[in-house]
Structure formats: structure tokens, C-alpha cells
Chain A
Amino acid sequence: MAEKLRFAIYWAASCGGCDIAVLEIGHNILKLAEAAEILFWPAAMDFKYKDVEALPDKSLDVCLFNGSVRNSENEHVARLLRAKSKVMVAFGSCAYEGCIPGLANLTNRGDILTCVYQETPSTDNHAGAMPQTHWAVPEGDLELPEFYDAVKTLAQVVPVEYFVPGCPPVAAQVWNVLQAIIAGQLPPPGAVVGVGTRNLCDECERVREGTKVKRFVRPHEVIADPQRCFLEQGIICAGPVTRAGCGRPCIHANMPCRGCYGPPEGVSDQGAKLLSAVMAIIDPEADVEQLVQQIVDPAGTFYRFSLPDSLLQQAKWLEVGKR
């Protein structure tokens, strides 16, 4: 029997959904266990960082890394696993493009800490205590990871071979990717794997009639017609700027696509492209300013999953660097 593949699975700044997504492959997990030996998976089994540190460099065949890089611990483990792994996979939207944690980049470290430790109504912090990276107590020195100013994607911290989008990646795609890894049939490095072709609309069965939008509404404000394209009902759907591959669970639950599979090939900024499409389909009779008002939280709506990996983020880092 061929030697088993040596696997690691890690979570950085993530919700844990990506670890569950691996378990969602169901009975196929037995096939994975047959083909692979798991040497590190903190969400599922008891491992310590020192177990990884003890491994020789490049001794892991594959690391599935989920979660974005929010603090120095995330970065430390990303570098450690990179050194130990032949193939690094940014697994899930957080590692790939920043995802929901990445929306924190609308603000900054100082404002987040002030809000969380001083301003929330349930906080009682008269002493004004703030988290410190080092603290001396009689028992010895205590350390906490440093909270960064911004959330970064995995590829912004270490070189990455493959990207698997999705919040979380759907089970069928996870299994596709695992099978490709087991069979040694991965495409050339740099590829986005576990996806379809083109965008969601290409596969979507909803009827499109060219109807222009008189009023934008949020999903909770109406009961959407389950047959018609969301956009034509004034409900912002990220399908046009989202890579196919998820099988459209949201669309089938009568909810618009939120864009978690990231931009299709060739789209450099998912948010700006969605904005460009959405504001082009407005009805000639509608008032532009009213339409603008109807889009509540534009940054969150258009950049829900892709902010740290966007051109907008690069513009911000350039400006912050100048200050």
C-alpha cells in the first residue's frame, strides 16, 4: 500500500464552519482516513503547537488552512505550517479573501478595542484595562497575541498554492478537492479549486426578462417571487459577480446570493463590479437619490466577503501608509 498522505488542518480567525465543512463530507471521511494521516487538527483532535514544531520542514504533504490572519498568533502558526507543508491551501472564504472577519477593516485596531473594552453597554471597565501583549504577575510573565490593525488573507502573509472559496465551502466541493489531493491531480499552483465555471447566473434557473429596478429592497422586507431573478425584483443578488460552484443553496432557499464564493476569473474587485452592475439596471423613472438611500450599508452589501482582498483595501493601505 502506498504511503499515507500527511495532512494538517488549522483554524485561524474563523467561525469554525470550515472545520465542520470538512466533516460534512460524511462517510467519505472514512476514505480520507484511509488515504491520509492527520498530524494536526486542533478543532477535532488534541494537538499542540509543539507537535507541529517537532516535525521536519516540508514533512506535511498538505495543509488546509482556514480563517484569516487577525493577530500575531494566527500569523505565527501560518508561517510555521507553511514551513512544514509542501502544499498550502487557503481553505474557505476567510483564508482566501478575508470574509466576514475582514469587514473589521472598515475600522481599525484602536476603534475596535475601544468599542469592545470601553463602550459597549454591557462593559464595566472603570479601571480602563486594555489587553496587553505582556503582563508580569507573581507566577511569571503572561503573553497574549498582538491584535493587528487589519485582517489579512492567508496569501498576504505566506505563499499559498491553492484557494478553495466558500463560507463555508460546500461538502461536495470539499470532497472534490480532497479527492484531487489524494489522487495527486491538482492543477498548476495558483489555481482556485473546488469551483465551477463562470458565475452563479450561468447556472441559475430563475427567469430574467430585462425588468429594470424601480426600488431596491432588502431580503427581509419582501417575500421574493421564487421563480424570478432577484435583481429584477430589486433585491441585490451577488450572483453576477460570484464564482459558480456552491450549487446555489441560498437561491434555492429563496435568498439572494451574498457572494461567498468570491469573484469569478478576471474580476479584480468583486464589490466595485457588483456596484457597477447594480446601479446600471435602474429604471429611468426612478429617483436616483432615493435608490441610493435604499441601499443600506453599501460597503457591507457589496464587499461582504472580499474586503481584505480588494482594490479598495489596497487604496486604504496606501493612504494609511502615507499618514
Chain B
Amino acid sequence: MSNPDTIDPKFKDEVMAELGGEHLLRCYSCGTCVSMCLVSRVSSEFNPRRTMRMVMLGMRDEVFRNPTIWMCSACDLCYPHCPQGIHISELMRAIKNIAVRDGYEAPGPVAVVNEEECSGCDVCEKACPYGALSLVTKVFDGQQRKVSQVNKNLCMTCGICAAACPLSAITVEEYSNEKVAAQIQADGWLTEPAQRLPGEPQLLVFNCSWNLRADVDRAALTRFPPNVRVIVLPCSGRVDPIFILLALKSGVDGVLVAGCQPGQCHYKQGTRIAQGRMRILQQILDQMGLDMSRVRFVQIGTEERGRFPALVMQMLADLKARMEPANITA
């Protein structure tokens, strides 16, 4: 039970007065949003319905002190399903805005800019789906320079900026270039002949963290043969085309990149950005006289259970067919 002394009966009015908070009272606690939300997978505490109820009950401190309020990525999977038409991500944002004004901060982690290396090109500001980046002028060694700055209350650690930054000056620590490279190379996957099954193709898979809803689908990721290596990144927008070229030039036969269906992307724009990058990369491979089918990009809808393992095995089979002597073209 919450302490009645800390109850703020005006809290609901405050939220409703905030842009996006208008429809709070429409919620009748059906829980549809919770059943749609993918965040519950990483935090069972995250529960928009409960948060809305707590706001209505005036539990101001409890709401703000709960770290889960920062977790809504505004993917809007829940929005079309809410029978009351509440735009829940907007409502969560209204709550966060008040929290920020009260001095609360998102717990992080967030993207980090290396100001020494940043050139102020502003590519990252344009890339970020959340408006979390902007240029500020700072003085270094007596010289004014523009550098990118992260708003830690807006960053969702999708890593799109990290793939976009031309100088690798912005990093999401858990998915840094070095860590991704280490995952690809672990156990000598690229270099040790013992890791290569003779006559079998090697397939590198980058999957986003959100396109597989059910635990059983995600468990299937660990059951591929050893010539398939799956790297899970937050978002397909984190895949830097350089990762793919590094794999191809090291002898990997094919690379599969999988993201969410457009409109269902957990980070709003990531899957569209990945689509653009992969389509252009395929065209470049084709112009270069390389087989463009060695790089594939798929977008998986949240309802398409079980499609993923089949896609991987199909690509593996196609790569194997390419290796047959009859199919090797000069």
C-alpha cells in the first residue's frame, strides 16, 4: 500500500495537462497494451496499464522512482490495439517530461560521444529516431568546435547512430564495434580451419532483439549448426555495412540481416535504415560482379512465428548450392 501522505491527487490532472497525456482517464485497465508490449520480455516490471493506474491514484513518487517508465521505445505496437484509442507511448512521454522537470533522470546506459574524435558532421542527429542528439559548441585547447551531445533521457540505445557515425565517435558500449567484431571472431570462427566444416558454407546472421516474440523462437537461434553464427544486436539499424564486408573478405559465404517489419520496428526507423543500407550494398556487390544474393535482408513481423529458422536454413542451402562445381561461374 502506498503511504497516503505521499499521494498527490492533482498528479492525474498534471499528466492530462501535458501534451500527450490528455486521454489518461480513458484507460479501463483491460491490459491489452501489456499483452502487446515487447518490453515486458526484458523487464517484467514494465507495465503501462499499471503505470496509468498509479498516475490516476496520485502515486507520483512511486511512478517517477520506477526505472521502467524510461523503457517505452515508442514502437507503437500497442497503440492500434488499445480499444480506447489511447496513444500510450505519447502518454508515457508526457510522464517522462514531468519527471525530467522534477529532476529525475533515465538510469541509462546511453550512447556516448567521444568528443575528441567527433567532427560535428551531424550525421548522428539526423540518424537518431528519438531526437536524442544535437550539436553543441565547446572549446577544446582554446579552439571552438561543434560536437554531438546525447540527451540521456531520450536515448534508447538502439545503436543506429553508432553504425552511422563516419568516425566511430559515438558508441553504445554493449554493442561497440570491438565487441561485435569479437563476437564474430570468437573461437576462431573466421580463421581456424577446424571451425570450418569442409564443403559447407559459412553463414553469418545479424538479428535484431525484438522481431522474435516467443521464448521458443529465440531459443531456436542457439540450435543452428556451427557453420551458422548468430549475432544479436539491439536493432538491424546497428548493422554497419563494414561488418558485412569484413565477413565477406574473411571468407564468410553469406550474411543474413533480419529486422522487424516496417511499422513494427522497436526503434521506429531502424528497420527502414537497414533496408536502405542493405539494398544499396546489394547493388554495389552486383556492380562489382559479386553475387548479390550473398547478402540478404529480411523483415519479420511479430506474428510470423517460426519463420526465422526456416529462412536461415534456406539461405544456408542456397549458399551450399552456389558451391557446387556446376554452379561456379567464371
Chain A residues proximal to chain B, CB less than 8 Å: 105-108, 198-199, 201-202, 208, 210-213, 229, 231-232, 239-241, 264, 266-269, 271-277, 279-282, 284, 288-289, 291-292, 295, 297-300, 302-303, 310-312, 314-316, 318-319, 322-323
What CA separation (Å) do A302 and B145 show in the bound complex?
A: 27
A198-B119, A319-B290 given; A274·B166 CB < 8 A: yes
Compute how far the CA of A312 lies from the CA of B134 in the bound complex, rounded to whole angstroms: 32
Q: Is the CB of A275 within 8 A of B284?
A: yes
Q: Does A269 lie within 8 Å of B245, measured CB to CB? A: yes
CB distance from B263 to the nearest CB of A (A): 11
Cα separation A212 to B123 with both chains bound (whole Å): 9
Beta-carbon contact of B276 and A288 below 8 Å: yes
Which of A210, A266, A279 interacts with B168 by CB under 8 Å? A266
For B281, what are the chain A residues with a Cβ–Cβ distance below 8 Å? 272, 275
B residues 133-178 in Cβ contact with A at 8 Å: 134-135, 145-146, 160-161, 163-168
A275 touching B280, Cβ below 8 Å: yes
Given A202, A232, A310, A319, which contacts B120 in the complex, CB threshold below 8 Å? A202
A239→B306 CA distance, assembly (Å)? 43
CB-contact partner of A280 in B246, B251, B273, B289, under 8 A = B273
The smallest beta-carbon distance between B268 and chain A, in angstroms, is 7
CA A231 – CA B289 in complex, angstroms?
A: 29
- Of B102-110, B182-190, B234-242, B313-321, the stretch lying at the interface with chain A is B234-242
Chain B residues with CB under 8 A of A310: 245
The distance from the CB of A225 to the nearest CB of chain B, in whole angstroms, is: 16
Residue in B127, B135, B251 with the greatest tally of chain A CB atoms within 10 Å: B127
A179 to chain B, nearest CB (A): 24
Question: Which listed residue, A198, A271, A291, touches B276 by the CB 8 Å rule?
Answer: A291
Q: Knowing A106-B289, A231-B123, A316-B290, say if A273 contacts B166 (CB, 8 Å).
A: yes
Rounded to whole Å, the gap between the CB of A311 and the closest CB of chain B is: 4
Is B120's CB under 8 angstroms from A295's CB?
A: no
Give me 10 A-to-B residue pairs in the complex whose CB atoms sit less than 8 angstroms apart, sorted by A's number. Answer: A108-B289, A202-B120, A210-B134, A269-B242, A271-B284, A276-B241, A279-B280, A280-B273, A316-B288, A323-B328
Residues in chain B within 8 A of chain A (CB atoms): 117, 119-123, 125-127, 129, 134-135, 145-146, 160-161, 163-168, 237, 240-242, 244-246, 248-249, 251, 262, 268-269, 272-273, 275-277, 279-281, 283-285, 287-291, 328-330
Distance from B328 Cβ to chain A, minimum over Cβ atoms (Å): 6
9 additional contacts (CB under 8 A) given A198-B119, A271-B284, A322-B328: A202-B119, A210-B134, A239-B121, A272-B244, A273-B240, A277-B166, A288-B279, A299-B284, A318-B248
Contact, CB under 8 Å: A272 / B245: yes
Looking at chain A's contact residues, the main secondary structure is helix
Residues from chain B with Cβ under 8 Å of A319 in the complex = 290-291
Cβ B284 vs Cβ A280 within 8 A? no
A314 to B245, CA, bound (A): 9
Complex-state Cα separation, A154 to B280, whole angstroms: 29
Instruction: Collect the chain B residues with CB atoms within 8 Å of residue A292's CB.
Output: 276, 279-280, 283
CB-based contact A232/B166 at 8 Å: no
Most chain A C-beta atoms within 10 Å of own C-beta, residue among B126, B134, B262, B275: B126
Count chain A CB atoms within 10 A of each CB in B165, B249, B272 and give the residue with the most: B249
Q: Determine the distance from Cα of A298 to Cα of B283 in the docked complex, in whole angstroms.
A: 7
Q: Which residue in A105, A267, A281 is a CB contact (below 8 Å) of B167? A: A267
Whether B119 lies near A280 (C-beta < 8 A) is: no
Instruction: List the B residue with the shortest CB-CB distance to A322.
Output: B328
A232 to B121, CA, bound (A): 11
The answer to whether B126 touches A211 (Cβ under 8 A) is yes
**How long is the Cα–Cα vector from A267 to B123 in the complex, in angstroms?**
16
| Known contacts A241-B166, A316-B290; A280 and B248 CB within 8 A of each other | no
Contacts of B122 in A (CB 8 A): 201, 208, 210, 229
The answer for the CA separation of A174 and B258 in the assembled complex, in Å, is 47
Contacts of B275 in A (CB 8 A): 288
A311/B273 contact (C-beta < 8 A), A201-B120, A266-B167, A277-B164 known: no
Which residue of B has the minimal Cβ distance to A107?
A: B289
CB <8 Å contact, B290 and A268: no
* A311 and B246 contact, CB distance less than 8 A: yes
Q: How far is the CB of B181 from chain A (nearest CB, A)?
A: 11
Query: B273 touches which one: A240, A279, A318 (CB < 8 A)?
Result: A279
**Cβ contact of A318, chosen from B251, B287, B291, cutoff 8 A:** B251
Which of B273, B283, B288 has the largest number of chain A CB atoms within 10 A? B288
Contact yes or no, A276 B277, CB < 8 A? yes
B290 partner residues in chain A, CB cutoff 8 A: 315-316, 319
Q: How far is the CA of A315 from the CA of B285 in the complex (A)?
A: 10
Q: Which of chain A's residues have a CB closer than 8 A to the CB of B291?
A: 319
Tell me which residues across on chain B come within 8 A of A311, comparing CB atoms.
242, 245-246, 248-249
Taken together as a complex, chains A and B put the C-alpha atoms of A239 and B166 apart, in Å, by 10
Residue among A105, A210, A239, A276 having the largest count of chain B Cβ atoms under 10 Å: A276
Once the chains are docked, how many angstroms separate the CA of A302 from the CA of B120? 21
- CB closest chain-A residue, reference B123: A277
Q: Is the CB of B127 within 8 A of A280?
A: yes
The answer on a CB contact under 8 Å between B280 and A280 is: no
